Amino acid sequence: MSKSGYVIEEILSANAIAARVAVLARNITDHFRDTEKLVVIGLLRGSFVFVADLVRGIDLAVEVDFLEVSSYGAAMESSREVRILKDLSGEIKGRDVLVVEDIVDTGHTLHHVLDMLQTRGPKRLEICALLDKPSRREVEIRATWTGFEIPDKFVVGYGVDYAQRDRNLPYIGTVRFTG
Protein backbone atom coordinates (compact mmCIF):
# COMPACT_ATOMS: atom_id res chain seq x y z
CA MET A 1 0.00 0.00 0.00
CA SER A 2 1.31 3.51 -0.85
CA LYS A 3 0.81 6.53 1.43
CA SER A 4 2.25 9.99 1.27
CA GLY A 5 5.93 9.64 2.08
CA TYR A 6 5.95 5.95 2.85
CA VAL A 7 4.91 2.55 1.59
CA ILE A 8 3.66 -0.38 3.66
CA GLU A 9 4.81 -3.87 2.81
CA GLU A 10 2.72 -6.68 4.29
CA ILE A 11 4.67 -9.13 6.47
CA LEU A 12 1.79 -10.81 8.36
CA SER A 13 -1.50 -11.36 6.55
CA ALA A 14 -4.88 -11.10 8.25
CA ASN A 15 -5.25 -14.87 7.86
CA ALA A 16 -1.84 -15.59 9.41
CA ILE A 17 -2.67 -13.33 12.35
CA ALA A 18 -6.09 -14.94 12.84
CA ALA A 19 -4.57 -18.44 12.86
CA ARG A 20 -1.95 -17.46 15.43
CA VAL A 21 -4.46 -15.60 17.62
CA ALA A 22 -6.63 -18.74 17.70
CA VAL A 23 -3.66 -20.80 18.97
CA LEU A 24 -2.80 -18.18 21.60
CA ALA A 25 -6.42 -18.10 22.78
CA ARG A 26 -6.46 -21.90 23.14
CA ASN A 27 -3.20 -21.86 25.13
CA ILE A 28 -4.55 -19.12 27.41
CA THR A 29 -7.83 -21.01 27.90
CA ASP A 30 -5.89 -24.12 28.86
CA HIS A 31 -3.56 -22.27 31.25
CA PHE A 32 -6.38 -20.52 33.14
CA ARG A 33 -8.93 -23.39 32.84
CA ASP A 34 -9.64 -23.44 36.61
CA THR A 35 -10.20 -19.67 36.89
CA GLU A 36 -13.39 -18.17 38.23
CA LYS A 37 -13.00 -15.23 35.87
CA LEU A 38 -10.03 -13.97 33.88
CA VAL A 39 -9.33 -10.23 33.83
CA VAL A 40 -7.93 -9.33 30.43
CA ILE A 41 -6.11 -6.00 30.49
CA GLY A 42 -5.39 -4.36 27.15
CA LEU A 43 -2.74 -1.66 27.00
CA LEU A 44 -4.11 1.21 24.98
CA ARG A 45 -4.04 2.16 22.39
CA GLY A 46 -2.15 -0.37 20.29
CA SER A 47 -3.69 -3.55 21.72
CA PHE A 48 -7.36 -2.79 21.06
CA VAL A 49 -7.65 -4.89 17.88
CA PHE A 50 -5.68 -7.80 19.32
CA VAL A 51 -7.77 -7.79 22.52
CA ALA A 52 -10.99 -7.83 20.50
CA ASP A 53 -9.92 -10.91 18.52
CA LEU A 54 -8.16 -12.69 21.39
CA VAL A 55 -11.04 -12.55 23.90
CA ARG A 56 -13.43 -14.01 21.33
CA GLY A 57 -11.19 -17.07 21.18
CA ILE A 58 -10.85 -17.50 24.95
CA ASP A 59 -13.35 -20.05 26.27
CA LEU A 60 -13.52 -18.79 29.87
CA ALA A 61 -15.45 -16.21 31.84
CA VAL A 62 -13.63 -13.01 30.94
CA GLU A 63 -13.70 -9.43 32.16
CA VAL A 64 -12.11 -6.87 29.84
CA ASP A 65 -10.37 -3.79 31.18
CA PHE A 66 -7.95 -1.28 29.71
CA LEU A 67 -4.93 0.62 30.92
CA GLU A 68 -3.43 3.53 29.05
CA VAL A 69 0.13 4.53 29.72
CA SER A 70 2.40 6.94 27.97
CA SER A 71 6.04 6.14 27.43
CA TYR A 72 8.13 9.23 26.93
CA GLY A 73 9.75 9.84 23.57
CA ALA A 74 13.37 9.95 22.53
CA ALA A 75 14.07 13.21 24.38
CA MET A 76 13.34 11.51 27.69
CA GLU A 77 14.97 8.23 26.79
CA SER A 78 17.31 8.21 29.77
CA SER A 79 14.52 8.17 32.36
CA ARG A 80 12.16 5.83 30.49
CA GLU A 81 9.39 6.56 32.95
CA VAL A 82 5.85 5.44 32.19
CA ARG A 83 2.85 7.56 33.21
CA ILE A 84 -0.69 6.25 33.73
CA LEU A 85 -3.11 8.14 31.48
CA LYS A 86 -6.10 5.88 32.18
CA ASP A 87 -6.12 3.48 35.10
CA LEU A 88 -8.05 0.23 35.30
CA SER A 89 -11.76 0.47 35.99
CA GLY A 90 -11.77 -2.66 38.17
CA GLU A 91 -9.77 -4.28 40.97
CA ILE A 92 -7.24 -7.05 40.33
CA LYS A 93 -6.43 -8.06 43.92
CA GLY A 94 -6.63 -11.86 44.17
CA ARG A 95 -7.69 -12.14 40.52
CA ASP A 96 -6.29 -14.00 37.53
CA VAL A 97 -4.93 -11.38 35.14
CA LEU A 98 -3.74 -11.43 31.54
CA VAL A 99 -1.97 -8.33 30.22
CA VAL A 100 -2.32 -8.01 26.46
CA GLU A 101 0.19 -5.95 24.51
CA ASP A 102 0.53 -5.38 20.78
CA ILE A 103 4.32 -5.15 20.71
CA VAL A 104 7.27 -5.53 23.07
CA ASP A 105 10.16 -3.38 21.93
CA THR A 106 12.63 -2.12 24.57
CA GLY A 107 10.47 -3.73 27.25
CA HIS A 108 10.24 -0.59 29.39
CA THR A 109 6.46 -0.19 29.05
CA LEU A 110 5.68 -3.73 30.21
CA HIS A 111 8.37 -3.62 32.88
CA HIS A 112 6.75 -0.58 34.52
CA VAL A 113 3.20 -1.83 34.00
CA LEU A 114 3.95 -5.24 35.51
CA ASP A 115 5.70 -3.68 38.52
CA MET A 116 2.70 -1.46 39.08
CA LEU A 117 0.14 -4.27 38.67
CA GLN A 118 2.09 -6.61 40.98
CA THR A 119 1.73 -4.10 43.83
CA ARG A 120 -2.05 -4.60 43.57
CA GLY A 121 -1.76 -8.29 44.53
CA PRO A 122 -3.12 -10.30 41.59
CA LYS A 123 -3.35 -14.07 42.10
CA ARG A 124 -1.71 -14.82 38.73
CA LEU A 125 -0.33 -12.31 36.23
CA GLU A 126 0.61 -13.43 32.71
CA ILE A 127 1.46 -11.57 29.52
CA CYS A 128 0.38 -12.14 25.94
CA ALA A 129 2.13 -10.03 23.29
CA LEU A 130 1.31 -10.28 19.63
CA LEU A 131 4.66 -9.02 18.37
CA ASP A 132 8.12 -9.22 19.90
CA LYS A 133 11.29 -7.47 18.78
CA PRO A 134 13.87 -9.25 20.99
CA SER A 135 16.79 -7.47 19.30
CA ARG A 136 15.55 -4.15 20.73
CA ARG A 137 15.27 -5.27 24.35
CA GLU A 138 16.77 -3.02 27.07
CA VAL A 139 15.14 -4.63 30.09
CA GLU A 140 14.48 -8.33 30.59
CA ILE A 141 10.84 -9.03 29.76
CA ARG A 142 9.48 -12.33 28.53
CA ALA A 143 5.86 -12.60 27.57
CA THR A 144 4.19 -15.83 28.64
CA TRP A 145 2.80 -16.09 25.10
CA THR A 146 4.11 -14.34 21.98
CA GLY A 147 2.45 -14.28 18.58
CA PHE A 148 5.36 -13.52 16.30
CA GLU A 149 9.00 -12.53 16.68
CA ILE A 150 9.81 -9.82 14.18
CA PRO A 151 13.01 -8.05 13.11
CA ASP A 152 13.86 -4.48 14.13
CA LYS A 153 11.63 -2.85 11.51
CA PHE A 154 8.99 -0.17 11.94
CA VAL A 155 5.61 -1.91 11.71
CA VAL A 156 2.00 -0.75 11.43
CA GLY A 157 -1.47 -2.26 11.23
CA TYR A 158 -3.74 -4.46 13.38
CA GLY A 159 -3.80 -1.72 16.02
CA VAL A 160 -0.23 -0.49 15.63
CA ASP A 161 0.18 3.05 14.35
CA TYR A 162 2.52 5.35 12.56
CA ALA A 163 1.77 8.87 13.87
CA GLN A 164 -1.76 7.68 14.81
CA ARG A 165 -2.44 6.33 11.31
CA ASP A 166 -2.82 2.80 9.94
CA ARG A 167 -4.15 1.17 13.13
CA ASN A 168 -7.13 0.04 11.03
CA LEU A 169 -5.15 -2.07 8.57
CA PRO A 170 -6.25 -5.73 8.89
CA TYR A 171 -2.69 -6.95 8.33
CA ILE A 172 0.76 -6.00 9.70
CA GLY A 173 3.28 -4.39 7.44
CA THR A 174 6.66 -2.74 7.57
CA VAL A 175 6.99 0.95 6.77
CA ARG A 176 9.48 2.02 4.14
CA PHE A 177 9.99 5.73 3.89
CA THR A 178 10.14 7.09 0.36
CA GLY A 179 11.03 10.67 1.25
Give the residue numbers marked as catalytic. Answer: 105
DSSP assignment string, 86-143: E--SS--TT-EEEEEEEEESSSHHHHHHHHHHHTT--SEEEEEEEEE-GGG-SS----
Q: Which is nearer to ligand PRP, 60 or 127 (CB)?
A: 127
Q: Which stretch binds ligand PRP (CB under 6 A): 15-23, 52-60, 103-111, 120-128?
A: 103-111
Out of 22, 106, 134, 144, the residue judged to bind ligand PRP by CB under 6 A: 106
Q: Which is nearer to ligand PRP, 38 or 82 (CB)?
A: 82
* Binding positions for ligand PRP, 52-71, rule CB under 6 A: 71
Q: Which stretch binds ligand PRP (CB under 6 A): 4-12, 22-30, 102-110, 150-158?
A: 102-110
Residue 105 as a binder of ligand PRP (CB under 6 A): the answer is yes
Name residue 99's beta-bridge partners: 41, 127
**Distances from the Cα of 174 to the Cαs of 5, 127, 157, 162, 179, in angstroms?**
14, 24, 9, 10, 15
| First-to-last C-alpha distance (Å) of the chain | 15
Residue 107 as a binder of ligand PRP (CB under 6 A): the answer is yes
Task: Write the binding mask 32 to 51 for ligand PRP: x where contact by CB under 6 A, - elsewhere.
Answer: -----------xxxx-----
- Those residues with Cβ within 8 angstroms of residue 84's Cβ, 6 or more apart along the chain or in another chain: 67, 68, 69, 116
Q: Which stretch binds ligand PRP (CB under 6 A): 14-22, 51-59, 86-94, 97-105?
A: 97-105
